[in-house]
Amino acid sequence: MAHSRTAKKNHRKSEKRRAHNRGQIASTRTSVKKARATLAEGAASTDAVAQVRRAQQMLDKAAKRLLIHPNKAARIKSRLARAQNAAAKK
């Protein structure tokens, strides 16, 4: 445990940041799951396109803020785009 005043304050700050970051990561994961579920239904509708676009935006923001690795964001976006193209062909 921290002993000095500054170490205690830094610990409080890091806990706040951690809680905020975990919420952001969770909402990003949720949007990706919603996009995948919409695509899995086979609906290549405007709703599916909107869900995928929203997920890609959230992934970009998470990568920009270094909540997730930029390569991971690119990989997930690529997989979503492939799934969207496959659903559009059906």
CATH number, domain containing residue 64:
1.20.58.110
33 residue type, one letter: K
Residue for token pair 């940041």: 17
Total domains in the chain come to: 1
Q: How many CA atoms lie within 13 A of 6 on its CB side?
A: 0
Instruction: Dump pLDDT digits (tens) for 8-53.
Output: 999 999 999 999 999 999 999 999 999 999 998 876 678 889 999 9
Instruction: Dump pLDDT digits (tens) for 55-80.
Output: 999 999 999 999 999 999 999 999 99
Which residue range forms the structural domain that includes residue 53?
Answer: 5-89
Q: Is a pLDDT exceeding 90 seen at residue 7?
A: yes
